[in-house]
Amino acid sequence: MNKGTKLYSIVNNKCPKCHEGQFFNTNSSYDLQHFSEMPDECPVCGQTYMPEPGFYYGAMYVSYGINVAIFVTVWVATNVLFRDGLGVWWLVLASIIAGLALMPVSFRWARLIWINFFVKYDAQSAARNREKLPVT
């Protein structure tokens, strides 16, 4: 996948501006103790990860969309796998299990997609930030 596309940032857990720094501290969505931890700003280019208070409330709309996609996928899959489909309560149960199992992934993708709406890729941002740092 090409660096410079928003999908690169979202899939690879990278800063939306420089595509080099980590967005979340851990690369594993299933490190359940730490999967949601993120630094205040990008360690490479200095882009703040909290542009304004409550910024990530908007990510709930993205998360809603991701979960609708998960539920539709479960519905289609159960109708393909089981000739007559599942009963409605089995479908609800399967959707809840899939939603919970994928919750760490949907949480992280929702935040990454949300910040990628507002922050554009800037290939020079990392170099500019390095020049500002004092030489040791």
> Closest separation between CB of residue 109 and Zn ion, Å?
18
Among 9, 10, 13, 15, binds Zn ion (CB under 5 A): 15
Closer to Zn ion at the Cβ: 14 or 74? Answer: 14
Q: Verify binding: residue 113, Zn ion, rule CB under 5 A.
A: no
Among 9, 10, 13, 21, binds Zn ion (CB under 5 A): 21
With beta carbons less than 8 A apart as the criterion, state whether 63 and 106 touch: yes
Question: Residues 30-69: x/- map of binding to Zn ion (CB under 5 A)?
Answer: ------------x-xx-x----------------------
Asked whether the beta carbons of 38 and 23 are under 8 A apart, the reply is yes
Alpha carbon distances (Å) from 62 to 5, 44, 82, 85: 19, 26, 30, 28
16 sits near Zn ion (criterion: CB under 5 A):
no
Q: How far is CA 130 from the centre of its chain?
A: 26
Confirm if 4 and 19 have CB atoms less than 8 A apart. Answer: yes
Euclidean distance between CA atoms 29 and 108, whole angstroms: 8
Of 11 and 60, nearer to Zn ion (C-beta) is 11
- Determine the Cα–Cα distance for residues 98 and 73; give it in Å rounded to an integer: 10
For Zn ion, the closer of residues 33 and 124 by Cβ is 124
Q: Select 18 or 115, whichever has its Cβ closest to Zn ion.
A: 18
Residues that bind Zn ion (CB under 5 A): 15, 17-18, 21, 42, 44-45, 47
